[in-house]
Amino acid sequence: MVLAATGVGHAEPVNEPLAAAELLINSSGKCLEIENSSTANGAKAQQWTCVGQSGAYWKTVPAGSPAEFWIVNAKSGKCLEVENGWKHNGAPVQQWTCTPGVKHQLWMGAGPRPGGAAIMNSGTGKFLEVENSSGANGARVQHWQYAQVSGQAWRD
């Protein structure tokens, strides 16, 4: 998976056949992962030091409109989603079985940030971020309205 900032002010996923990659929060250099590399529905997303753990590899898969994609965990095959499609700031992000037409499982590249790219949830219009831009292992991944914070800048 590659997130590339384009010249038109948004980031596009560039899909590579069978490619899975770590997705890093730029400010900490740590990985987006599923807690304990779980394969269960409802397992929470968090940040953790990248040590090759199986729950920290992701693929982008085109879904929905041409600009939308699923973020699929390579181990579980499940999609990253906003829990229950909640739209309030701070709603947790988890994995769940990928389901066509479920908007809170769809993501879009939403523009460059210093050191990375923003990722917006199509169903909520809010951005994937590490809570409080924390650098701690186990920091919760959530969604939040647009903010110029380091916790919303991602890279692979």
- Whole-angstrom distance, CA of residue 121 vs CA of residue 132: 18
**Across 3-10, average pLDDT:** 39
Question: What is the domain range of residue 94?
Answer: 2-155
Q: Which residues pair with 3 in a beta bridge?
A: 13
- Whole-angstrom distance, CA of residue 139 vs CA of residue 83: 16
- Whole-angstrom distance, CA of residue 19 vs CA of residue 6: 20
Name the domain count of the chain. 1
Calculate ∠ Cα 16-20-26, nearest 5°: 105
The predicted model scores a pTM of: 0.86
Residue type, 59: K
User: What CATH code is carried by the domain that includes residue 125?
Assistant: 2.80.10.50
* pLDDT one-digit tens code per residue, 56-73: 999 999 998 899 999 999
* pLDDT one-digit tens code per residue, 103-145: 999 999 987 766 789 999 999 999 999 999 999 999 999 999 9
* pLDDT one-digit tens code per residue, 15-57: 444 489 999 998 899 999 999 999 999 999 999 999 999 999 9
